[in-house]
Chain A
Amino acid sequence: MAVLSLDNVVKQYSNHRAVDGVTFDVEEGSIFGLLGPNGAGKTSLIRIITTITAADEGTVMINGEPLNSRHPSQIGYLPEERGLYKKMEVGDQLLFLAQLKGLEKRDAKKKIDFWFERFEITDWWTKKVQELSKGMQQKIQFISTVVHEPKLLILDEPFSGLDPINTNLIKDEIYRLNQEGTSIIFSTHRMEQVEEVCEDIVLINQGRVVLNGKVNDIKETYKENIFRIGYKGSKPSLSSNKYSVISQSNDDITIQMTAEMGSNELLNDLIRQGVDIDSYNEIKPTINEIFIKKVGETNE
């Protein structure tokens, strides 16, 4: 079942259409990548989902219900531009933000204590935010996003500004929350993170959906039949109208085949020639390459 479902969503500003008929579903319990170059309409879309603004057309459903005033308490949102009250104490601040999400004060305090212990920061309660380093502030911001145990978590560039240790810490927490059933929307333009973390993605450019589906399916669709063969001994001499050599060195060769040729056919060819093969891999495009290609196409 879809935890979030967008159908033909449109957001029109006075001089441009920020979101132009966007449709996609986020399956419950998945980690979903919302991708797009800067200015593609990601933030506009997120603001619609988080009820900060409203769509001009189309429907947004959460758990099969049209978006309404009860939903914000089920959503956790970490904006790209982080912000906390600088002069407020960390504990009071988290308490305040948790209460805004509908938690009772006592309940909120318990949950904050849980996170403080988890991040080993139990002595931070009375610290002011401005006394904390940027990385520390990010931890607080993360706690404020998840403290009310949202069903849907929207993270906009969650790792920006984090050092590798804290990145791993937050990443582990994201995985754990996902394991416990939280659906996660992960908005970013850093593609290596998408491949690592997400199962499904939607790619948006100029307010429209360019690509949507499972990461593996998309890669499968956009692969170009390129194989890399590692070998020992003498160079094979390959000449066929069914494939072309892209590059060749002393111990490997990269070949692009035509669509109708199977990979076994190439392998047979090589074996027949007596090539001593020690590796044989299909080179699938990275999401980054697909991203650049698709964005380039839609911008033309």
Chain B
Amino acid sequence: MNNILLILQREFWTRVKSKSFLLTTFLAPIGIVVFYAALFFIMSRGSDNVKNLAVIDNAGIVDQSETKRNNLTLSYDYSDLETAKAAYLAEKIDGIIELPPISTDVTNYDIVFHSDEQLAIDETSTIERLYSKKVRNFKIQTLGIDQSQLDLIDTDLNVSPKTIKETAKDISSLTSTVSSVLGGIVGFLLFMMVMIYGSQVMRSVSEEKINRIVEVLISSIKPFQLMMGKILGVGSVGLLQVLIWAVLMIVISIVGTSILGISAMDFGGDTAAITEAMTQEGIKLDENVVGVMKELSSINWAMIVPLYIFYFLVGYLTYSALFAAVGSAMGDDIQDAQALTMVATLPMIIAFYIAIAAVTAPHSTMAVWSSILPFFGPVVMPVRLALDPPMWQIVASVLSSIVTVIALTWLAGRIYRIGILMYGKKASFKELGKWIFYNG
């Protein structure tokens, strides 16, 4: 145990003290924020030169008081196309919008833009948005449709579930969405963790093998202790990094809120207090936000949170053991390494896609069985957890995860102890199988 701790500490501190850890931990979130800010800035900037356009309204639908829309100024000074064209040639205007005559039976209406210069995409859409509304209003008026009747045509549709047995938990339509999203986040976190840190375990194992220090290490401690120390050490680094990111995200969102005035949604807070505060602020309550809050407070956190943590840890341990075994079988040949890496990442990727499918169909046969199966359970089950799957499925899934993690670390340990001492030849899968049954 003491030896595992020593290995864990070394793995942890050499990583945490390294420049790349500091860079990825603190600069990555800032980088992401800067990236999105830049993206937002770029996207919000359209064409910035103002265009003077003349409008020739042969349809009789325009509102002449409207002289500016975005970066287009509109003038109605020219009565016909010819005078407007003359003005264009005299460089008084940059183009002419010609609205042809219109009737109620027109379903395809072409506005003509006269100019030798092309319109920018955002300018085109400005013009389209401006006149589609006008055409619609023209038709409503001409056809004599009552606005209040029109409002009645559009209907919002919802499927709201209602329980039949009195003992069943009351579920609202939002429950499934909210809980699947939560489970999805847990699944996604696990996926990221395994992909980033699992492969770090693999690299660390193969590095020790390639630089030969492993022979010194395992003359002092058991290979299994070395492997476990490594998995736990790298895992702790991952947890620390995720934690720092979470804190940074909260800090950034608070700072962002106070500077930009964007209201951040405070999940897990007291719904009633927030609702009240929002009402007092005179903000129009978005029903969905309140609904989400309500759903979040009705979920059985006492059971689900420990299970989330359980699946996260077990999932990480299972996959990183697999990565460790794969790392031990690698030589310094990169091509072999890639083929072997596939073996470890493939089940994770498949599990991730099943989890995505399970968000929309959490009770499908595939979702149910894969949440119990080894390798898939820790990724798929979290997605289903908040939807109250039958207890036997949870128990089966937990048991199968535990059995898997024990069996796999044992198997990985068997492969690892042989693999780290094998040099110079490519390990076939048949050979990996043989290593499991070798005597020490």
Residues of B within 8 A of A87 (CB): 14, 18
Contact A14 B434 (CB under 8 A): yes
Indicate whether B213 reaches chain A with its CB closer than 8 angstroms: yes
Which chain B residue has the least Cβ–Cβ distance from A72?
B220
Given the interface contacts A47-B421, A54-B440, A88-B14, does A100 sit within 8 Å of B220 by beta carbon? Answer: yes
Contact pick for B212, options A14, A79, A97, A100, CB 8 Å: A79
B421–A83 touching, CB < 8 Å: no
A151 within 8 Å of B by Cβ? no
Question: Are B219 and A50 in contact, with the CB atoms below 8 A?
Answer: yes
Given contacts A69-B222, A83-B213, 4 further A-B contacts (CB under 8 A): A72-B219, A72-B221, A83-B211, A100-B220
C-alpha spacing A14/B76, complex, angstroms? 94
Tell me, rounded to whole Å, the shortest Cβ–Cβ distance linking B150 to chain A.
71
Q: Please encode chain B, from 205 to 238, with 1 for each CB lying within 8 Å of some chain A CB and 0 for all others.
A: 0001001111111111110000000000000000
Cβ distance A267 to chain B, nearest Cβ, rounded Å: 54
CB atoms of A83 and B216 under 8 A apart: yes
A82 touches B218 (CB 8 A): no
* Cβ-defined contact, B216 with A77, below 8 A: yes
A-B contacts counted at CB < 8 A amount to 57
Asked if B220 contacts A97 (CB within 8 A), the reply is yes
Q: How far is the CA of A69 from the CA of B1 in the complex (A)?
A: 13
User: B439 to chain A: which residues have CB within 8 Å?
Assistant: 54, 56
How far, in angstroms, from A209 to B6 measured CA to CA in the complex?
A: 39
- Contact flags (1/0) for B106-137 with A, using CB distance below 8 Å? 00000000000000000000000000000000
Does B51 make an interface contact (CB < 8 A)? no
Q: Which residues of A (60-115) have their CB < 8 Å from a CB of B? A: 69, 72-73, 75, 77, 79, 81-88, 96-97, 99-101
Q: Inside 8 A of A52's CB, which chain B residues have their CB?
A: 215, 218-219, 421
Q: How large is the interface on B (under 10, 10 to 19, 20 to 34, 35 or more residues)?
A: 20 to 34
B189-214, CB under 8 A of A: which get 1 and which 0?
00000000000000000001001111
User: What is the CA–CA distance of A87 and B21 in the complex, to the nearest angstrom?
Assistant: 14
The distance from the CB of B2 to the nearest CB of chain A, in whole angstroms, is 9
Instruction: With A47-B421, A54-B440, A96-B6 as known contacts, state yes or no: A85 contacts B213, CB within 8 Å.
Output: yes
Top 4 closest A-B pairs, CB basis? Answer: A83-B212, A54-B440, A83-B213, A50-B219
- When distances are taken between beta carbons in the complex, the residues of chain B under 8 Å from A81 are 212, 215
Complex Cα–Cα for A81 and B18 (A): 27
> Using Cβ atoms and an 8 Å threshold, which residues of chain A touch B214?
83
Cα distance, A81 to B215, chains bound together (Å): 9
Let me know if A5 is at the binding interface, CB within 8 A.
no
**Count of A residues near B, CB < 8 Å?**
28
Q: Does B10 make an interface contact (CB < 8 A)?
A: yes
The verdict on B58 contacting chain A, using a C-beta distance below 8 Å, is no
Nearest-Cβ distance from residue B192 to partner chain A, whole angstroms: 25
A288 at the interface (CB under 8 A from B): no
| Interchain CB contact under 8 A, B216 and A144 | yes
A177 CA / B136 CA spacing, docked (Å): 99
B297 CB within 8 Å of chain A: no
Tell me which residues across on chain A come within 8 A of B3, comparing CB atoms. Answer: 100
A87 to B217, CA, bound (A): 17
Write out the residue numbers on chain A whose beta carbons fall within 8 Å of the beta carbon of B212. 79, 81-83
* Chain B residues whose C-beta falls within 8 Å of the C-beta of A84 in the assembled complex: 211, 213
What is the bound-complex CA distance between A35 and B337, given in angstroms?
36
**A53 at the A/B interface (Cβ < 8 Å)?**
yes
Smallest distance from the beta carbon of B17 to chain A beta carbons, Å?
10
Given contacts A47-B421, A83-B214, contact A101 B220 (CB under 8 A): yes
Report how far A51 CA is from B439 CA in the complex, Å. Answer: 13
Cα(A144)–Cα(B217), bound, Å: 11
Question: A206-226 vs B: 1/0 string, CB under 8 Å?
Answer: 000000000000000000000
If A51-B219, A72-B219, A87-B14 touch, does A100 touch B213 (CB 8 Å cutoff)? no
Given A96-B6, A100-B3, are A77 and B434 neighbors across the interface (CB < 8 Å)?
no
**Of the candidates A14, A73, A85, which one forms a contact with B211 in the assembled complex, judged by CB atoms under 8 Å apart?**
A85
Please tell me if the beta carbons of B434 and A53 are within 8 angstroms of each other in the complex.
no
Question: In chain A, what residue has the closest Cβ to B213?
Answer: A83
Interface string of B402-440 (1 = CB under 8 A from A): 000000000000000000010000000000001000011
**C-alpha spacing A53/B10, complex, angstroms:** 24
Q: State whether B434 touches A100 (Cβ < 8 A).
A: no
